[in-house]
Amino acid sequence: MTVAFDPIFTKIAYILVVVQVDYNNKTTPLYTGPAPETTAVLPMGQFHLYAKITEEAGAYALYDINVRFPTVMPDEAQYYEFDVLSKVRYYESTGNQQRIQQILTAQV
């Protein structure tokens, strides 16, 4: 028996998750939705990034993206170039509370 995969009729959902391994394994979802990628703002630290990919019948697979993803502190010029206040205002106007939370967490 052959089972064919038809992407037109199969709904796929992605859950991208980050685990901060140097902070008591704090787990935070980065993204949930139909796109296989996202942009995120992470604080400084060591992270385990993984994806849970689910199809409409409920079957899923876990995929390790990177088990030891390090982030580094920006230098002073990069920090001021990012302009936290304007980013927060922009994401507030678009209703992206998850991105605001990421920015404020990285800010601390």
The dihedrals phi and psi of 16, each to the nearest 5 degrees, come to -100, 125
pLDDT digits (tens, 9 = 90+) for 12-58: 888 888 888 888 888 888 888 888 888 888 888 899 999 999 988 88
Q: Residue 10: its pLDDT value, please?
A: 64
Q: Which residues of 39-54 are buried (b: 16+ CB within 10 A; e: fewer)?
A: ebbbbebebbbbbeeb
Q: Are 41 and 90 in contact (CB under 8 A)?
A: no
Q: What interhelical angle do 84-94 and 97-107 show, nearest 10?
A: 160
25: its two tokens: 């394994």
Q: Residue 45: its pLDDT value, please?
A: 87
Instruction: Locate the domains of the chain by residue range.
Output: 10-73, 75-108
